[in-house]
Amino acid sequence: MKLIIAKDEHEFDVMAAWEIIGQMLRKPDSVIGLSTGQTTKNMHAIVSDIYRQYPFDTSRVTLFNVDELTNLPRSYAGCCYTMIAEQIARPLQIPDERFIMPQTISEDYEAECRNFQKALEERGGIDLQMLGLGYNGHIGINQPGTPFGSETWVSPMDPIFEERVRRETGVGPEHELGGLTLGIRTIMHARHIVLIAKGGHKADMVRQMLKGPVTEDIPASVLQLHPNCTFLLDADAAQYVTDLA
């Protein structure tokens, strides 16, 4: 386990951005998994800005996101496909065939799960997986209670997040929503994982993730067992775990 504590939010964003850029430079045919949300927006902007100023070969890089919403069109700005496309895939000129994402609307989500996982396996597996930390310890859309042996699957949304999505889209409760996500077992097969968390509101969950028992009640706690996982935190998120640095 490697723990890195950034002194402030800007340093955190720069460090996270260089994890992505460094992987691309070390291995030009890297398979890189990203995450979406407020934690990642600025770091993606930094990646894109560095590429714009100092272009490098991205023609063989494969990008994907750890999860995607289901039963919503890609035109919804909150879809992971749309966010990753706009924030990083297009700015870095990643070829369309190397931007791997499941369909958001499908008649067979089990097939989408299989195809998504197969596409990553055919490219040699995941070299780097960037992961955000949910307020309840979820990674991807693997909510508390998800079996550690899970592979790519469709999970229920976090209720708080689902409420926000329904509010933004106007989709009523009769319309089932979910999240197609890499399972915990699949995530753990990534050769390098970088767990990112910032802000004091994440501090207690960071403590439970790093200092508590490995339990399915806190999905992120399984990362204690990964042989090559970096935990990148800002000072506020790390306030209860500085003794581990």
**Cβ distance 192 to 227 under 8 Å?**
no
pLDDT values of the chain reduced to their tens digit, one per residue, 245 residues: 899 999 999 999 999 999 999 999 999 999 999 999 889 999 999 999 999 999 999 999 999 999 999 999 999 989 999 999 999 999 999 999 999 999 999 999 999 999 999 999 999 999 999 999 999 999 999 999 999 999 999 998 888 888 988 998 988 888 889 999 999 999 999 999 999 999 999 999 999 999 999 999 999 999 999 999 999 999 999 999 999 97
Give pTM, 2 decimals: 0.96
CB-based burial, 110-119: b 16+ in 10 Å, e otherwise: eebbebbbee
**Cβ distance 169 to 13 under 8 Å?**
no
CATH topology for 2-244 is: Rossmann fold (3.40.50)
Nearest one of 1, 44, 9, 38 to 192, comparing CA atoms: 1
Q: Where are the domains of the chain?
A: 2-244
Which bin fits 168, alpha (ψ -120 to 50), beta or left (φ > 0)?
alpha
The Cβ of residue 178 has, within 10 Å, a number of other Cβ atoms equal to: 18
